[in-house]
Structure 1
């Protein structure tokens, strides 16, 4: 009897083991229940049946960062995600300006004139035979720059990729690259910049060749909606076989500035290169004339008034052109393009572009901004 009493009083492992087993079973059961509940909640949230509390929504990506990622990683046009960039859409024709352009062109009946202007932010526009295909001269270098930067965005071209000078691409006329020995290599960024800065024809031919040649480039123009734009000959193309229209030139620039083409980074490169053009005797000078006031150097005088023009001209003697982006003092932007075909080296052709631009200037001039009311300090004691 003593031995039996002693065994009952000695603590054993039975009770702790049973308690541990119960805890394990309870933990497994709670895990299964919780997992099932979370799965159902996630499915319901995806369907929109269950709202997600605001404190569960991630805010790690700032809106501007998300836009930058989307701009380069999505096929959707940037303009569809940010209406502040404007769009290439004609909404309200400025009939008085269109008529004025028609009257100016009629004073020189032997000149063929094409003109187009669009304010990207509100759709106001004017036109004169905007879709007539005329010799592009060096103005075709703007859409070539656009396609070059598209290749950069696609990863098929690098901005510092060397391009080799060959006999095929050497072009006369404007520029200095033709004077370099055959076999000289130029980085793409220098080629693209010189094509715009000093209108280097050899630089242009280097890019035409690198982009796959004339036929491949024309297919790219068509894909962009530039139906009147075509490269049919190496530059300088003094015969005027390369063509474009005023609407096409304006459209090419607008595609970039509205975000419909190119990433944000390449858009900046486009604007940077276009800003290097040294010829400012057509749209900039005509705009300055139309705005009135002191007539100094066009770029500096326009800057003082709050305007900036990023433009590219063309000149092959029988045809002249100019097209550019015009930044206005109120932050709005317009695109404008002018083409004139006439007798060889006829000064009336360039003067016509200046007159058309001068007539356009008043409609681009924004209304004076009203200063916000400033509250006066109270005189009450």
Structure 2
């Protein structure tokens, strides 16, 4: 009996040794549960990646190199038009001698000038490329720039400009008497800038057209290498500069109609024909002649640039800038006499009239390649 009892005890002990304890079972269950969770997370992550990848491919499918849009190459900018220098073979010795005889008598004065029949190319010039103060003739290229923007629908002539303290300027013009906050239309400002040489109107327009730097760049684009606005009006020190030739080129660009539209050309000439300062070039013209012009006067220099039309329809250009003792009245007198000499000469020596454009000319960003080309026979 004792041996049987001992054997049963041994058997129960071995059986207990083979069965895991409660703690071991708990640890085993935790390990299995963790493994299952990891497997589930892996499956979920793989599914989410698959779904995300599919969604992205639907929303933003990869671009096939064959289907990709090829942008056309940007065409190169057109070359800046330039105006050739005057052909010396077209210079008029007769007109030159008459003008020089007059100038040599005026020892206190120093004139630069250019008179030209733009159809025949016959001309007389003296110091036409000399850099001089522009005075109010700087308003001529500003007027051109304005009407270019009108043509491009960047500016509306009915648009209102507001006078402020920075724009108000002394000297010529009546807008300086208006209180800050007063509004004036662009057309009125442009008209006053030319007809009564209003400096406040000019400053308003310079600001509206982007400022002096933007305007100077436009002048360069046209081929004007010298004409520059360095300060607002009035520029009594003469820091704004130009040359007689570049003023002639500006005037010719209007006349030929290759810088603005036909409608803008008509408005520009209409405004310039209403200039009230008529003590210089207009005084040398005969009865029935018409002139569209712009004057300048800063005391030490006077100037006048214009297009003159005979009663017969013939035309020529005149530009005169005269350095003088401050406010010396002999300066305007010299311009008047030079104007009379040129008028008498071209009246008989210029048989071919300039024909105004009958159709809308092509707009360009610059002046014609050659101002001084004789018109080809029809």
1:329 to 295, 311, 316: 311
- The alignment status of 1:319 with 2:301, answered yes or no, reads yes
1:141 aligns with 2:139: yes
Q: Quick check: which has more Rg, 1 or 2? A: 2
1:145 deviates by 0.6
- Per the TM alignment, residue 227 of structure 1 is displaced from its structure 2 partner at its CA by 2.3
Aligned to 2:118: 120
In the alignment, which residue of structure 2 is the partner of 1:175?
Answer: 173
Matches within 5 A, 1:1-381: 92-288=90-286, 302-303=287-288, 307-366=289-348
- Deviation string for 1:146-171 (max 9, x for gaps)? 11111111111111111111111111
Q: Report the TM-score when normalising by structure 2.
A: 0.67
- CA deviation vs aligned residue, 1:237-296 (integer Å, no higher than 9, x gap): 1111111111111111110111221000110111111111111110010234xxxxxxxx
**Residue by residue, what CA displacement relative to the aligned partner does 1:92-144 show, whole Å, maximum 9, x if unpaired?**
21122123323322223342211001112222111111111111111111111
SS of the residue aligned with 1:365? helix
Output the CA distance in 2 between the equivalents of 1:103 and 1:221.
Answer: 35
- Kindly report the root-mean-square deviation, in angstroms, between the aligned alpha carbons of the 2 structures: 2.2
Question: Could you say if the C-alpha distance between residues 157 and 368 of structure 1 is closer, same or farther in structure 2, counting changes exceeding 3 Å?
Answer: closer
Cα distance in 2 for residues equivalent to 1:119 and 1:261: 20
CA distance in 1, matches of 2:314, 2:121: 11
Query: Counterpart in 2 of 1:12?
Result: none
Q: Which runs of 5+ in 2 are unaligned?
A: 1-76, 79-83, 352-378
TM-score calculated relative to the size of structure 1: 0.67
Structure 1 stretches of at least 4 aligned residues deviating more than 3 Å after TM superposition = 87-91, 366-369
Report the alpha carbon displacement of residue 367 of structure 1 after superposing the two structures with TM: 7.2
Structure possessing the higher relative contact order (Cα contacts under 8 Å, 6 or more residues apart): 2
- SS at the partner of 2:146? helix
- Distance between the aligned counterparts of 2:258 and 2:196, measured in 1? 27
Per-residue deviation at 1:89?
6.6
Q: Given that residues 131 and 228 in structure 1 are in contact (C-alpha distance below 8 angstroms), is that contact kept between their aligned partners in structure 2? A: no
Give 1:88 shift: 9.8
Unaligned runs of 5+ in 1: 1-74, 77-86, 289-301, 370-381
Would you say the 8 A contact 1:88–1:254 is kept in 2? Answer: no
- Conserved 8 A contact 1:342-1:349: yes
The CA distance in 2 between the partners of 1:162 and 1:235, in whole Å, is: 20
Task: Indicate conservation of the 8 Å contact 1:205/1:235, yes or no.
Answer: yes
Q: How many residues align?
A: 269
